[in-house]
Structure 1
Amino acid sequence: MTATNTPLDDTLPEDVAAQIGAYQYEKTADFPVEQSYVWTSCASVFNGNPIYWDPKAAEDITGGPISPPSLLSAYARPHYWAPGAEGEQLSLQVHFDLKKRFGLPEAIMTDNTNVFYEPLRVGDVVTSRQVLKSVSGEKRTKLGVGRFWVIDVEYHNQNGELLGTESYTGYGYRREASA
C-alpha cells in the first residue's frame, strides 16, 4: 500500500513520539508451550514433520521437543475473555491504541515479517512485549486519509532468550466521503 500523494501532515504528537522505541504491554503467557497444541496445529495443516511427532527424532535433530515457529504468537495471545480479566483482551494493543489516539476507525495490516531465533520448546513460558518503531505523518491513499505505523512484538522464553520477533506495518485510516 503506497501513498498516492505527498504527506498531508508530517507532525507527530509528543505523546506518540515518546512511545517510539519504548517497551509496552509486556505479558507472560498463562500456560506453557504444550505438546497437544503442537500436535493439533500440525494436524490442522497436515504437517508430518517427525520433529513434531516423534520424540526420538526431536531429540536427535533439535535436542528435544519443539513447537513449530509459526505457533510462537499463539502462546502469548490473550484469550478474548478470561475469568477475572476486565474488558476485551486484545493482541497487538499498540495498534488499537494508535487507531483510537488518531481517531482512525479503519485499519489494515500491509506487511508482516517474522524472524525466529531460539527454538520454542515444549515447557517454555513465553513473554511478549510490543515496541512501536515508527508512525508516519498523515497520508492519503485509495482507502482514505490515515497513518502508517510499524510495531514489533518480541517474544522471549522464561530464561530471557529471544525466541522471535514479529514486525507489523499497519495503516489506520478514515474513509473519505464519496464525491
Structure 2
Amino acid sequence: MSARDPQASRNATDLPDEAQRMIDTPLYEEPGEFPIEMGYVYNTCAAVQNGNPIFWDPAVAEAVTGGPIAPPTMMSVWFRPHYWAPGATGERKALQTHFDLKQILDLPEAVVASNEAVFGEPVRPGDRLTTRQIVRSIGPLKQTKLGIGRFWTIDVETTNQHGEWVGTEIYTMLGYRRPEQ
C-alpha cells in the first residue's frame, strides 16, 4: 500500500484515537543541530567513492549548480540527531513518529518496507534545515511472514532557513508482532 496510490485504502478504521489524530498532522518540527558543512559532504562522498566533481571541485560546482551543494541523497543525514548533545535529555531518535506509532499500536518490531525521496532546492553549505514528520497513512492489521502488523507511511519534509522546500523522504514501515513460538 502506498500513500501515493489514490486507489489504496488510506487508513484503517480500527485505530486508537491517538494514532488517528496523528494522521496528516505535522509532528516534531525541529531545526537541524548544525549548519550544513562540506566536511560531512566530503566524508560521505569518500565513504561511497562518489567522485562527482560537483561535490569536489568548486569551479565545477559554480558552473553547474551555482555553487557548492550537498548530494541530494544526504537528505536523511541532516535530520538525524547526534546521540548526545549538551543539555539534551533522554534517548534521541530520528523518526520519532515511527517509534511513537510502534508504542501506540503495540507493535514492538518494525522494518522499513520502502523509502523514496523527492528533491527540491539544493542543500548548500551554511544552510540551516528544519524537518517535520507527517503520518500519511496507517493500514489495517494484516498477517505477514514476519507476524501480524500494519504498514504506515511517514513523510519527513525538509525546508531551509528561507522556508524553501528542499525535499521530502517518504518512509513506509511495517510494524509487527512476532508470532509466539
- TM-score strictly above 0.5: yes
Deviation at 1:114, TM superposition (A): 0.6
In structure 2, which of residues 149, 172, 178 is the aligned counterpart of residue 175 of structure 1?
178
The answer to whether the 8 A contact 1:105-1:174 is kept is: yes
The answer to whether the 8 A contact 1:92-1:130 is kept is: yes
Q: What aligned pairs does 1:30-45 form with structure 2 within 5 A after superposition?
A: 30-45=33-48
In structure 2, which of residues 103, 108, 112 is the aligned counterpart of residue 109 of structure 1?
112
Residues in 2 aligned to 1:75 and 1:99: alpha-carbon distance in whole angstroms: 23
| 4+ long deviations beyond 6 Å | none
Task: Supply the AA of the counterpart residue of 1:46.
Answer: Q
The answer to whether the 8 A contact 2:16-2:104 is kept is: no
Equivalence for 1:4: none
Gaps of 5+ in 2: 2-11
* TM-score, reference length from structure 1: 0.91
* TM-score, reference length from structure 2: 0.90
Deviation at 1:19, TM superposition (A): 1.2
In the alignment, does 2:62 pair up with 1:53? no
Q: Count matched residues.
A: 171
Deviation at 1:80, TM superposition (A): 1.6
Equivalence for 1:130: 133
Equivalence for 1:5: none
Q: Deviations over 1:63-88 (max 9, x none)?
A: 01100011112122101222211111
Q: Percent identity, aligned pairs only?
A: 54
Pairwise CA RMSD: 1.3
Residues in 2 aligned to 1:111 and 1:102: alpha-carbon distance in whole angstroms: 20
Deviation at 1:41, TM superposition (A): 0.9
Report the 3-state secondary structure (helix = DSSP H, G, I; strand = E; otherwise coil) of the residue aligned with 1:18. helix
Q: What aligned pairs does 1:84-163 form with structure 2 within 5 A after superposition?
A: 84-163=87-166
Residues in 2 aligned to 1:17 and 1:130: alpha-carbon distance in whole angstroms: 15
